[in-house]
Amino acid sequence: MAPDDVVEVADLRVTRGGAEVLHGIDLTVGAGELVGIVGPSGGGKSTLMRAIVGVQANVRGEITVLGQPAGSPSVRGRVGYVTQAPSIYDDLTARQNLEFFGAVLGVGPDEVQSALATVDLAEAGDQVVGSMSGGQQSRVSLATALLGSPDLLVLDEPTVGLDPVLRRSLWGTFRALAAAGAAVLVSTHVMDEAERCDRIALLRAGRVLATGTPAGLRERTSADTVEQAFLALIDEVAA
């Protein structure tokens, strides 16, 4: 593995309910790199991310995160993970949620405040999560993952259901986190979001159809957008 590779996945196979859902995935994410996993729902994006975080059962193949096997105790505090549903306590305020997970990670109130500011919730910090809008709840969940300045961020569809202005601002945040040196892995089924990544992996039916820079993929398929490139690649496989 290259010296600055934060994640290296080799021949990953995952079985769920007796059936193989990931059929030999290879993927790397380097420090400072923003990598998108793009593909339709049910293609295995979440399962791949869960495997990288180390919470997926029945995993075969190699997954190395920060030089350790995925989910190792020494890696756990250095990986921020956001699931599709906001995994936070809806009967507590945003700040109380962050203070709790901050205490688990051993970070102080300063970092709680800056994580809230990063997701533009500094004002709403004392609002009970249950009374927040869906978009605000996703941002609380994201802020939780930012605590402790993780070396790797795994974000599973963090922008789904959010308005365009907020989506743009969050992608700006992901870009800034990568620029600050973190490895950022983001999944999305919105193809035009993928244009903002350094590199994308097109995942369909448990296989990586193609990886490369957005420009490279467009060029390879003579397409104008990533979406068209994706469709062209599917046709290529079918042909």
Residues that bind another protein (CB under 8 A): 16-17, 53-59, 71, 73, 76-77, 79, 81, 83, 85-92, 96, 100-101, 103-106, 128, 144
How far apart, in whole angstroms, are the C-alpha atoms of residue 185 and residue 183?
A: 7
Minimum separation from the CB atom of position 106 to another protein (A)? 6
| 63, 9 Cβ separation under 8 angstroms | yes
We find the least distance from the C-beta atom of residue 96 to another protein, in angstroms, to be 6
Q: Which is nearer to another protein, 115 or 191 (CB)?
A: 115
List the beta bridge partners of residue 14.
22, 59
Q: How far is the CB of 146 from another protein (least distance, A)?
A: 13
C-alpha distances out from residue 118 to 86, 113, 149, 171, 177, Å: 17, 9, 12, 12, 10
Helix axes 134-146, 109-118, angle to 10 degrees: 130
CA angle at 74 for the pair 147 and 16, rounded to the nearest 5°: 90
SS3 state at 9: strand
Question: Nearest approach, Cβ of 197 to another protein (angstroms)?
Answer: 23
Q: Which is nearer to another protein, 85 or 176 (CB)?
A: 85
Rounded least distance, CB 37 to another protein, Å: 18
> Smaller CB distance to another protein: residue 101 or 174?
101
Smaller CB distance to another protein: residue 85 or 215?
85
Nearer CB in complex with another protein: 21/202 = 21
